[in-house]
Structure 1
Amino acid sequence: MSADPSASPDPSTDTLTQPAPPDISDALAARLARDVWGIEASARALGSHQDRNFLLERDDAPPLLLKIANPSVTAVELEAQSAAAARIAERAGCRAPRALVADGATVRPVTVDGVEMQARVLEFLEGSTLTGHLSRAAVESLGALAARVALALEDLEAPAAERSHQWDLRQAPGALAEMLPFVDDAALRERLADASAAAWAEVGAVAAELPTQFIHGDLTDDNVVTADRITRLPDGVIDLGDLNRTWAVGELAITVSSLLHHDGVDLAAAMRAVTAYHRVRPLSPPELRALWPLVVVRAATLVASAHHVLRTDPANAYAAGNLLHERAIFDAATSVPLDVATALVLRTLGQSAPEPGLPPAQPLLPWLTADDVVVADLSPTSPHLHEGRWLTASAEHDVMSGCLDRARVVAARFGEARLTRSRPLAPDEPHNVALGIELRFAGRQPLAAPWAGVVAVTSNGVLVGTGNWTLRLDGVRTALADGSAVEVGDLLGEADGSLWVQVVRAGADAPRFAPRSLAAAWRAVVADPSPLVPGHPARSSPGTVDAAALLARREAVFADVQEHYFDDPPVMVRGWREHLVDADGRVYLDTLNNVTSVGHAHPRLVDAVAEQWRLLNTNSRFHYPAVVEFSERLAALLPEPLDTVFLVNSGSEAVDLALRLGQAWSGRRDVLAVREAYHGWTYLSDAVSTSVADNPAALETRPEWVHTVPAPYGHRGASPARYADGAVAEVERLAAGGTPVGAFIAEPIFGNAGGVALPDGYLAAVYAAVRAHGGLAIADEVQVGYGRLGEWFWGFEQQGVVPDIVTVAKAMGSGHPLGAVITTREIAHRYREGGYFFSSAGGSPVSSAVGLAVLDILRDERLQENAREVGGYLKARLEELGQRHPLLAAVHGSGFYLGPEFVRDRATWEPATAETAAICARLRELGVIAQPTGDHQNILKLKPPMCFSRESADAVVAALDRVLTTGW
C-alpha cells in the first residue's frame, strides 16, 4: 500500500476517487428546486466532500434538503439510498431522511455547465450533529445506533447499486495508492503509507471470513443528528451517499474513528461504542481482529482524501475544515501498536487477549537468593508515601533507597500503578502503570544473559534479542560490541545503582509507563520480567482494586438508601490536603468535602488522634482535661450569652438536641422551618428538613407541628424584604391561631439549597418575632460554620444577629464524628429539669483531642483567612466565567461555601437540572469531584477543604470553562 513519493499526480487518471462536481450557487440551487420540483424556497449551501448539498428554507413549511450527487453517482445508486433510508426509519428506531417522490421516482437529473448529475429532495432532519465533547451516554448511543442500522440493512438487496469507490474499506489499497501522492508532506505521507500497510496486512489475514452486506458507509458524528440539546443522544441518521455492499464491521470502524477527535474521547472511551455495538449485533472473532486495523485504514484514507480533494477542489472549505480533526483521528488511531489496540477491543468485550509469557530463561542475577530482594511499595496505599511524600521529585529514589537497608536489591513491581507518577490538578489519566520492573542496588551488580541472543548496545544500556522477544536493560555498562552473540549466563555488563528491565515483543516499542485504561492491553506486546529476578513477586500490587466487584459487594450488604457519588464510583484510597486519590493513582480535586475542613490526612490531626488513643479513650462521663479545654475554647468562639456546650457525634444529633432544648424552654412542639433546607436524619432533625432533593415528599410528610416559610431567594426577582415580612406574618398567624412556635430553625446561609445568602435583615426580623412569642432562635451552622465563609467565622454573623442556640458539626471534627450544641446556661438548665443528657462518645478523649487539633490548625494555618482570600478569588473567576457562558447564571455564597447556579433561561430562571448532572460527570472525567445540590439539583456545591489553594481554584475554573465550552 505504499505510494511513490516522487510520483507526479494527475487527478484525471483517478479510478476510485471521484471528480469534483461543478460549482453551484445558492441562486442556481433555488432555481433548480423551483424548476424541477416546483418548490419555492431559498437555498443555502451545506458542506460535503464530493456532492453539493443545499438547505431549502420555505416560509410556511419545514425545510428540505436538495442533494445534488457527484457526477459519478448513478440514479440506481440514489434509489438504493432512498430505500435504505426508509428501512432505517422503519427498523432502527431512529429518524432518517425520506426522499420526495415525483412521477414515481425519488431521483431527477439536472444539468449544470453541461454536466448531468442526479439530484433528490429529502426531508431535512432537525437537530444538531455531534460536536465538541461526547458524553459516555452519547458514545454508547452512537455505537448502538450503528448496530441497529447494520441490522436494518442486512437484507437489503440492490445489486445494480454496488460500486467501487474510495470509502469502501475493501478498496483502501487502491484508493490510497491514488491519493497518497497528493500528500505534500513527505513524513506524513510515509506515516500514512506504513500504518495503512501494516493494518491492511492484519485485515488480509481474516478478510475472507468477514461478513458483507449493505452498510450506511459513513455513520459518523457528522452524519447523525440529535434533537435533544441536553442529552445530545443521536436519534437521526443522514447522508447515505456512501451506501454500498462491503464488510459489515467496516461500519463500526468508521463510527469509532469519527469519535477519536472529540474532546475527552480517547481509545478507552471509544471502546464504549464498541461495547454498545456488540450488545446489539455481536461481533465475530474475525471481525474483532479486523476492527482496529480498519479504524487505522479509515483514518489514513480520511487524511489522504482531504489532501486529494484540496488539490482537485482548492475552494472546498468543508474538506479544509475537516483536515485538522482527521489528522487527530489518525494520530489517535495509531497511538498504540495494532496488537495493543486489538487486545483493548477484546478485553473491553470480556474476551481473553493473548498474553505471551517469557521464553525459557535463567535469572538475570543468578547469584542472588530470594532473601536478597525486597519489593518497594510505590502504590497509592504505600505507607512510605504518607504526608504528601509522593509529591516530591525524589519520592521513588527515597523509597527504594530506604529499602536497601534490608536487602541487596530493591525491586519495584511490574503492573503497579505508581502514586509517585501521579500529579494533582492534571485533567488526564496519569501514565503511571509500570510496564517493566525497576531495580536498585547498594553497589554494582553484574548481569547475566537470561537467554541466548544478539546484543544491541544503546546509549543507556543493552538490548538482548531472542526469537520474538527483546530484553531491554537500561542502566547497564557493557564491554560487548554491538551485534555480539551471547549464550545463557554470559556476562552482559554491570548495573551501577539502578536498572530498568523490560521485555517487549521483537519489533515493538513500548513506553515505560502506561495509563491504567491501556495497561492490560499492553500485555499483548510486553511480558512481565519479574521471573528474571529471584524472589520478586510477579504483578502483586496492593493498590489494585476491582472497582465494579467492590461496588457489587457494597450493594449486596449496604442498605440501598445509603447512596454513593456517581453511578460507577472510583475507589478512593488516599486523601491529601484538597486531593483524593483512587486505587489506580488518579488524583482528583475535591471541591465538595466540607466534612474534611482542614484537609485530608492532616499530619497534626493524625498525630493528635494516635497520641490520645494511646493514652485514653473512654466515655464522656469520666473526668479528663481534653473535654474541658475543648469546651472552653468552643464556647469562647461564640458571643455572649452563648456559653454552655453539649458535645455529640454528628450534625443530626446536634439539631435534634437543639429542637429538644426549644421544646423544653417553651413547652411547645411547634417549630418554624425554612423550605429547601436539610437538617439531619434523626426523628426531630428529619421532621424539620424540607429539601425535596433529599426527600421528594418532604413537604407532604411533615408532622403537623412543623410549619414552613418559603426559601428567601432574593436573586430570583422577588423583593428581599417580602421574604422577611412573609415569615414574620406566618409567626404572627400561628400565634394568633393558638400554635405559637417554640423554635425557629434556619441555616444562616443555605447549605443544600446552594450556599445562598439570606436577604439582609431576614434573621433579625424573624428572630424578634419568634422571641416575642416565647420561642427560641436556632442557627444551624453544621455546614456553614467554623470559618468557611471567610469573612465570618459563623454564618449568623453575616446577618448581625445572635441566636439562642447554635448547632455545629462537620468542620469541627474534620472527618471525625464530632458535633456540638452551644446555648445559654439558662436554656441548658431548663432542659435539665426534664431529664438528663448523655452521649457516650460525644466529647470522648479522642473526640476532644480532634476538636482541639482542628482549632489549632485553623488558627495556625490561617484557614479562615485562606477561605476569604482564595474563596473570593474563586468566586470572582466563576462570575467572570458566567459572563461568557449564559448557563452559569449566578455564583452564590462566600469563601469556601460557593454555589454556581445553572439555568436554561436567566429570565425565567428555569433550572438546568440535567445539564448540571452532566457537568458533574464531565468534571469527574477531568479530575474534579463535584456534585449538584439544591431542590432542583442545578447548583454545584463548592465546599472544599479550607486549605484549598489558588492553583486549585484555577484548576476548577479551567475545568468548568472547558466543559461549558466543549460540552458535557
Structure 2
Amino acid sequence: MTVRSTIMDTNSFRAEHAETLAPDIRQLTDKRSQVLGESYRLFYRNPVHLVRGQGQYLWDKAGNQYLDMYNNVASIGHCHPAVVDAVHKQMMQLNTHTRYLHESILAYSDRILATMPAEIDRAMYMCTGSEANDLAIRIAQCWSGGTGIIVSKEAYHGTSALTSGVSPALGSGQPLSPHTRLVAPPDFYRIQTADQGAWFAQEIQKQIDDMTAQGIKFAGFLADSIFSSDGVLPGQPGFLKQAIDVVHQNGGIFIADEVQPGFARTGEAFWGFARHGVVPDVVTTGKPMGNGIPVSGLMAKAPVMAAFSDALPYFNTFGGNPVSMAAAHAVMDVIEQEALQAHSLKTGAALLAALQSLQATYPCIGEVRGAGLFIGFELVKDRESKQPDKRLALDLVEALREEFVLTSVAGPYGNVLKIRPPLCFQTHDIDWVVSAMDRCLRKLQG
C-alpha cells in the first residue's frame, strides 16, 4: 500500500468528496482533473475558490472574507502595493536575463548579504526554492567530494530530481536518493532530554557513521531551522550549534533552507538559523523573497561556492531578472519600513499566548509552540500518552475553513496545525483565530 505524502495528501480534496460539492465548485474540480492531471492537489474536502487578496485577507467568488493563517509565500501580505508598484514600473522598462549588466541585481546582492554573517559574501539567483536547494546540494558535493546528504525525517526541500530525493515528506511513491540519510527530528515535546543540542548532534553523527559504513562520503546537512514539515519544531534557541559543529568536523557543510523561517518570520532574527548562533555555509531562499514573484537565492561563503563556480558555469535564464529583483527590493523595503521583524516577534508572542490559553479548556491540545509568526498547534488523544490525533486535526482544519480561517497540517502524523500567516497579520486578528478555534473545538469535542 502506497503511503500518502504528508505535505500533499493529508489535507486534500479527493474524488470521494465530489458528490457534496456545489455545482460551480464541482465543475472546476472536474475541469482541473481533466486538464491538469492527477499530480495536483487541492486543499479541503470542499475546495475554496479564491478570487482576491489583500494583506492577510482573501476573498472567494461569493464575496466571503477569509483570514489567511497559512501562506508564507505572500510574505508581507497579498497584493502588497509596494510590490505591485515596483513590478509594474520595472516591467514597463525592461525584463531580461542576467547575461546583460543591470544595477538592480548588484544592489540587491549588497543588501541581502548585509543581513548575513560576514563570512557569507556571495550570492546567486534562481526562480524557485527547489532550484536553490538543487544548486546547494551540487555545491556541497563539489566542496566535500562526497554525495551523502542528511535531512530530517519529514523534510521537504523541493521538486527537482535532486531535491525530491532529499524530501521524504513527498511520500513513499517518491524514492529517496540512496545517498540520503534521515535524522530524527528535534521533537522535544516527545523526546525528554536535559541537553537538546547534545542529543541532536549525536543523532547527526549516527547518520554520518552509517554513511561511512556504507561507503558513502558525507557532503552536508540540509535543514529548515524550524523543522516546519516535521511539525514546526523550533526547539531552544542555540540547540543546532553542536550539530553544525559535528557536520563541520566530518567534512560536510550546513545548508540552511530559509524558504520558510527566513525574512523576519521568527521575529528573533532576520534568518531562522540566526536564532541558533550558527553560520551556515550555504543559505537558500524561495518565493517569499519576492512576495510570490518567482525569485529565489543562494548565498554562500566564498570558498564553499568557489568549489562549484570555479569548475562549472551556472546559468538560470530568468533567475535574478530585473522584475524579480524589483519585487525583492520592495519586500526588503517593506520589512524595514514596517519593522516587520519586531512586529513578528511581538504579534507572534501574543498569538502564541492566546492559542496556549485554549489548553486549559481542551485536553486534546498537546502543545502550542513556535517562534514569531510561525506556530505549531499539536492535537493529541490525551496529554499523558501524547498519541497524535490526526482525525481531529483534519476535522479542525475543515471546521476552521467554515469559520473562514485558512490553515493546514504538518508533521509525520498529520496532527499539527501549521499556523504561518503573512507578516502583516495584526493583533486585532487574534480574536478571530482564537474564537474560531474555540468554537470549532467545542463543537468537535462535544
Q: Would you say same fold, with TM above 0.5? A: yes
Maintained 8 Å contact 2:201/2:244: no
Report the AA paired with residue 609 of structure 1. Answer: V
2:57 corresponds to: 579
Maintained 8 Å contact 1:712/1:759: no
The yes-or-no answer on 1:874 pairing with 2:379 is no
Report the AA paired with residue 695 of structure 1. Answer: G
Tell me, in whole angstroms, the C-alpha distance in 2 between the residues paired with 1:733 and 1:577.
47
Q: Give the 3-state SS of the residue equivalent to 1:643 in structure 2.
A: strand
CA displacement 1:514-534 (0-9 Å, x = unmatched): xxx9xxxxxxxxxxxxxxxxx
Tell me, in whole angstroms, the C-alpha distance in 2 between the residues paired with 1:833 and 1:949.
47
1:684 corresponds to: 162
Aligned pair partner of 1:561 in 20, 29, 39: 39
1:642 corresponds to: 120
Maintained 8 Å contact 2:201/2:246: no
1:91 corresponds to: none
1:594 corresponds to: 72
2:322 corresponds to: 845
The yes-or-no answer on 1:799 pairing with 2:281 is no
Tell me, in whole angstroms, the C-alpha distance in 2 between the residues paired with 1:888 and 1:799.
27
Equivalences, count? 424
The yes-or-no answer on 1:695 pairing with 2:154 is no
How far residue 794 of structure 1 moved from its aligned partner, in angstroms, is 0.9
Maintained 8 Å contact 1:643/1:824: yes
Question: How do 1:79-478 and structure 2 match up within 5 A?
Answer: none
How far residue 591 of structure 1 moved from its aligned partner, in angstroms, is 0.3
Q: Give the 3-state SS of the residue equivalent to 1:592 in structure 2.
A: coil
Tell me, in whole angstroms, the C-alpha distance in 1 between the residues paired with 2:388 and 2:417.
12
CA displacement 1:596-630 (0-9 Å, x = unmatched): 01101111111101000000001121111111111
The yes-or-no answer on 1:713 pairing with 2:187 is yes
Tell me, in whole angstroms, the C-alpha distance in 2 between the residues paired with 1:759 and 1:709.
18
CA displacement 1:74-114 (0-9 Å, x = unmatched): xxxxxxxxxxxxxxxxxxxxxxxxxxxxxxxxxxxxxxxxx
The yes-or-no answer on 1:915 pairing with 2:392 is yes
Q: Give the 3-state SS of the residue equivalent to 1:567 in structure 2.
A: coil
How far residue 761 of structure 1 moved from its aligned partner, in angstroms, is 4.7
The yes-or-no answer on 1:885 pairing with 2:362 is yes
Change (3 A) 1:634 1:771: same
1:740 corresponds to: 217
Maintained 8 Å contact 1:742/1:775: yes
How far residue 562 of structure 1 moved from its aligned partner, in angstroms, is 1.3
The yes-or-no answer on 1:552 pairing with 2:26 is no
Maintained 8 Å contact 1:754/1:898: no
2:6 corresponds to: none
Q: Give the 3-state SS of the residue equivalent to 1:617 in structure 2.
A: coil
Q: Give the 3-state SS of the residue equivalent to 1:672 in structure 2.
A: strand
Tell me, in whole angstroms, the C-alpha distance in 2 between the residues paired with 1:660 and 1:758.
29
Tell me, in whole angstroms, the C-alpha distance in 1 between the residues paired with 2:425 and 2:261.
16
Q: Give the 3-state SS of the residue equivalent to 2:58 in structure 1.
A: strand
Report the AA paired with residue 422 of structure 2. Answer: P
Tell me, in whole angstroms, the C-alpha distance in 1 between the residues paired with 2:345 and 2:231.
18
Tell me, in whole angstroms, the C-alpha distance in 1 between the residues paired with 2:260 and 2:110.
22
How far residue 574 of structure 1 moved from its aligned partner, in angstroms, is 0.3
* Structure 1 length-normalised TM: 0.43
How far residue 675 of structure 1 moved from its aligned partner, in angstroms, is 1.2
Tell me, in whole angstroms, the C-alpha distance in 2 between the residues paired with 1:668 and 1:731.
12
Report the AA paired with residue 295 of structure 2. Answer: L
Report the AA paired with residue 327 of structure 2. Answer: V
Change (3 A) 1:760 1:851: closer
Aligned pair partner of 1:704 in 169, 178, 181: 178
Maintained 8 Å contact 1:735/1:741: yes
Question: How do 1:951-966 and structure 2 match up within 5 A?
Answer: 951-966=428-443
Tell me, in whole angstroms, the C-alpha distance in 2 between the residues paired with 1:758 and 1:673.
17
Report the AA paired with residue 184 of structure 2. Answer: P
Tell me, in whole angstroms, the C-alpha distance in 1 between the residues paired with 2:39 and 2:210.
37
How far residue 760 of structure 1 moved from its aligned partner, in angstroms, is 5.2
2:130 corresponds to: 652
How far residue 967 of structure 1 moved from its aligned partner, in angstroms, is 2.1
Identify unmatched segments of 5+ residues in structure 2: 1-18
Q: Give the 3-state SS of the residue equivalent to 1:777 in structure 2.
A: strand
How far residue 659 of structure 1 moved from its aligned partner, in angstroms, is 0.4
Q: Give the 3-state SS of the residue equivalent to 1:791 in structure 2.
A: coil
How far residue 723 of structure 1 moved from its aligned partner, in angstroms, is 3.1
Q: Give the 3-state SS of the residue equivalent to 1:595 in structure 2.
A: coil
CA displacement 1:884-940 (0-9 Å, x = unmatched): 111111112111111101011212211110111111111111111111111211111
Which structure exhibits the higher relative contact order, with contacts defined as CA atoms closer than 8 Å and separated by 6 or more residues? 2
Q: Give the 3-state SS of the residue equivalent to 2:182 in structure 1.
A: strand
Identify unmatched segments of 5+ residues in structure 1: 1-274, 277-347, 349-516, 518-544
Question: How do 1:777-792 and structure 2 match up within 5 A?
Answer: 777-792=254-269
Tell me, in whole angstroms, the C-alpha distance in 2 between the residues paired with 1:834 and 1:909.
51
Maintained 8 Å contact 2:67/2:404: yes
CA displacement 1:818-840 (0-9 Å, x = unmatched): 11110012122211233211111
How far residue 697 of structure 1 moved from its aligned partner, in angstroms, is 5.0
Question: How do 1:659-674 and structure 2 match up within 5 A?
Answer: 659-674=137-152
Question: How do 1:942-957 and structure 2 match up within 5 A?
Answer: 942-957=419-434
CA displacement 1:761-812 (0-9 Å, x = unmatched): 5422222222122211111111111100011111111111111001111321
Change (3 A) 1:765 1:738: farther
Maintained 8 Å contact 2:153/2:230: no
Maintained 8 Å contact 1:731/1:769: no
Q: Give the 3-state SS of the residue equivalent to 1:967 in structure 2.
A: helix
Maintained 8 Å contact 2:154/2:411: yes
Tell me, in whole angstroms, the C-alpha distance in 1 between the residues paired with 2:199 and 2:48.
45
Q: Give the 3-state SS of the residue equivalent to 1:612 in structure 2.
A: helix
Tell me, in whole angstroms, the C-alpha distance in 1 between the residues paired with 2:215 and 2:35.
48
Q: Give the 3-state SS of the residue equivalent to 2:189 in structure 1.
A: helix
Report the AA paired with residue 706 of structure 1. Answer: T
Q: Give the 3-state SS of the residue equivalent to 1:796 in structure 2.
A: helix
2:96 corresponds to: 618
Rg: which structure is higher?
1
How far residue 577 of structure 1 moved from its aligned partner, in angstroms, is 0.6
